[in-house]
């Protein structure tokens, strides 16, 4: 019954796509955002209601930052959540804010289980937004490590008020152990107020992603998200090496207006473990912290426009991914993160004739799996809103693969690129997710993305 209903849903979407594609011409890339089927304040994450979280703090607005990760030791369907909590009520937290690492298993009898893994990181400082090294995979896609490194920003109160101390790094022997004392990362430049550091692998090399103002090759200084090789095991202390690469800059707001200021990168990983894109916030002014929105970057090309995903009247910062659930810290919401569910897609960069690894993430209720379809084709002239479907269609094409999501709410596709494809050639792709909720079929389109030939 599921297959019949899913295939029927696929045809409902594919037919308008084909018709629209015949009537339109290609006019460049139209980067549509991830489709979100819900956007709410979930009581399960509320520090005033959740009994596990309620006893941890006495602060009226305790949640300062949140991040989500998949660790090598996490069972299927379980994710690692890092909280930054104001006034953390624990004997190991003498400072203004502290870290707490928990395991989250949606649908379990006790979904949120606290761990002591961050206890030794909490010192008499103002620490912010712990992010962990993701799962590391070999060339065959098998998990070979990850979860041993954590990074965060550290502040302190000084004579002039809140002062930035720097980006810090801590290590542990494996992802089930406690972190040791943190050490400052050396070699960083251009980030006098904060770095928003996070970790990811690119071409199998560990990279530090951070917010900074630096000069791109042959250009002017740019405020954006940069990545740089990270040496976490140096005897003299952790440090970045080599030249930093710009991977995201603020969206252009029009003639005579300043571009938006990007911050808070939240990395999206492909099937091979590499970073392929990111959610990130962009603010009007990073000194007053009055307003910022959440965007999605479908690749690491700074020239690619970012697609608006969540708007806010307040300041959106930090965030985490746990399967198809997006957790966002929004100043408009007191005591809990903003929780969105949906579907998103990242592409890949491969040589001619190679297979691209494409990852589609899609929310499904605990105990169920979504049916996903990957489309490939060409860009539409204008995105299309389809009746009964969350998200917008931005690609005209045909299905090239159908997969069920796994327990981590991901579906992986392999697409071989033609041997005759020229370098720089890009294949537009988009995904469709279908799952059942409350007796109804929920259909959600992902953002648009590309497979590029390098």
pLDDT of residue 21: 35
Q: Are 123 and 95 in contact (CB under 8 A)?
A: yes
Long-range contacts of 144-147, Cβ-Cβ distance < 8 Å, separation of 24 or more: 145/72, 146/71, 146/72, 146/175, 147/69, 147/71, 147/72, 147/73, 147/80, 147/174, 147/175
Strand ranges for 174-220 from DSSP E: 183-184, 198-202, 205-215
Q: What is the largest CA-CA distance in the chain?
A: 68
CATH of 38-341, one of 1.20.140, 2.60.290, 2.160.20, 2.115.10: 2.115.10
Strand ranges for 172-306 from DSSP E: 183-184, 198-202, 205-215, 221-231, 239-249, 261-269, 275-283, 292-297
Nearest residue to 128 via CA among 152, 150, 151:
152
Q: Are 362 and 377 in contact (CB under 8 A)?
A: no
From first to last of the 454 residues of the chain, give the pLDDT tens digit: 223 333 334 434 443 443 333 333 334 678 999 999 999 989 889 999 999 999 888 888 899 999 999 999 999 999 999 999 998 886 556 568 899 999 999 999 999 999 999 999 998 889 999 999 999 887 777 888 899 999 999 999 888 788 999 999 999 999 999 999 999 999 999 988 899 999 999 998 999 999 999 988 778 899 999 999 999 988 889 999 999 999 999 887 766 677 789 999 999 999 888 999 999 999 876 555 678 999 999 999 999 989 999 999 999 998 899 999 999 999 999 889 999 999 999 999 999 999 999 999 999 999 999 999 999 999 999 999 999 999 999 999 999 999 999 999 999 999 999 999 899 899 999 999 999 988 899 999 999 999 999 8
pLDDT of residue 95: 67
pLDDT of residue 140: 72
Give the three-state DSSP class for 121: helix
Residue 313 is encoded by which pair of tokens?
């009247």
Measure the CA–CA gap between 330 and 316, rounded to whole angstroms. 4
In sequence order, what DSSP letters do the residues of 64-82 get, joined into one string? Answer: EEEEEE--TTSPTT-EEEE
Residue 296 is encoded by which pair of tokens?
């999605």
Angle at CA 78, nearest 5°, toward 226 and 299? 25
Measure the CA–CA gap between 78 and 104, rounded to whole angstroms. 6
Q: pTM of the predicted model, to two decimals?
A: 0.91
pLDDT of residue 309: 96
pLDDT of residue 195: 96
Measure the CA–CA gap between 327 and 118, rounded to whole angstroms. 20
Measure the CA–CA gap between 145 and 298, rounded to whole angstroms. 25
Fold annotation for 2-30+347-453 = Immunoglobulin-like (2.60.40)
Residue 75 is encoded by which pair of tokens?
């069972």
- Phi, psi of 83, rounded to the nearest 5 degrees: -105, 140
Where in the chain are the domains?
2-30+347-453, 38-341
Q: Are 180 and 123 in contact (CB under 8 A)?
A: no
pLDDT of residue 286: 53
CA dihedral 101, 104, 108, 112 (to 10 degrees): 40
pLDDT of residue 272: 85
Residue 283 is encoded by which pair of tokens?
């603010």
pLDDT of residue 386: 95
pLDDT of residue 93: 62
pLDDT of residue 255: 63
């Amino acid at each position: 019954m599921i297959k019949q209903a899913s295939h029927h849903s696929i045809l409902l979407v594919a037919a308008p796509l084909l018709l629209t594609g015949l009537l339109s011409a290609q006019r460049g890339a139209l980067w549509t955002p991830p489709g979100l089927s819900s956007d709410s304040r979930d009581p399960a994450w509320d520090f005033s209601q959740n009994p596990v979280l309620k006893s941890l703090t006495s602060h009226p607005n305790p949640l300062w930052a949140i991040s989500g990760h998949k660790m090598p030791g996490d069972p299927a369907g379980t994710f690692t959540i890092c909280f930054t909590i104001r006034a953390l009520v624990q004997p190991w937290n003498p400072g203004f804010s502290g870290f707490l690492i928990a395991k989250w298993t949606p649908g379990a009898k006790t979904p949120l289980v606290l761990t002591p893994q961050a206890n030794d990181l909490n010192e008499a400082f103002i620490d912010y937004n712990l992010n962990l090294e993701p799962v590391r995979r070999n060339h065959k896609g098998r998990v070979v490590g990850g979860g041993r490194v954590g990074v965060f920003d550290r502040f302190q109160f000084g004579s002039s008020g809140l002062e930035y101390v720097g980006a810090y790094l801590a290590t542990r022997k494996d992802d089930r152990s406690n972190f040791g004392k943190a050490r400052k990362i050396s070699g960083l430049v251009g980030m006098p107020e904060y770095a928003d550091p996070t970790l990811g692998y690119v071409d199998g090399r560990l990279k530090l992603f951070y917010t900074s103002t630096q000069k791109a090759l042959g250009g002017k200084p740019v405020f954006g998200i940069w990545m740089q090789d990270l040496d976490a095991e140096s005897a003299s202390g952790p440090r970045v090496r080599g030249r930093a690469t710009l991977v995201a800059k603020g969206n252009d707001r029009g003639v005579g207006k300043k571009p938006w200021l990007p911050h808070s990168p939240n990395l999206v990983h492909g099937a091979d473990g590499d970073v392929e894109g990111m959610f990130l916030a962009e603010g009007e002014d990073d000194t007053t912290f009055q307003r910022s929105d959440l965007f999605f970057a479908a690749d690491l090309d700074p020239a690619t426009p970012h697609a608006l995903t969540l708007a806010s009247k307040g300041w959106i910062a930090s965030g985490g991914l746990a399967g198809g659930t997006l957790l966002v810290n929004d100043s408009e919401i007191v005591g809990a993160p903003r929780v969105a569910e949906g579907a998103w897609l990242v592409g890949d960069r491969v040589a001619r004739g190679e297979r691209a690894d494409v990852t589609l993430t899609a929310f499904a209720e605990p105990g169920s799996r979504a049916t996903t379809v990957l489309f490939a084709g060409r860009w539409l002239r204008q995105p299309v809103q389809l009746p009964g479907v969350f998200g917008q269609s931005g690609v005209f094409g045909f299905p090239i693969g159908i997969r069920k999501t796994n327990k981590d709410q991901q579906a992986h596709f392999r697409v071989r690129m033609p041997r005759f494809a020229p370098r720089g050639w890009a294949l537009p792709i988009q995904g469709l997710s279908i799952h059942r909720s409350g007796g109804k079929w929920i259909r959600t389109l992902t953002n648009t993305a590309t497979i590029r030939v390098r």
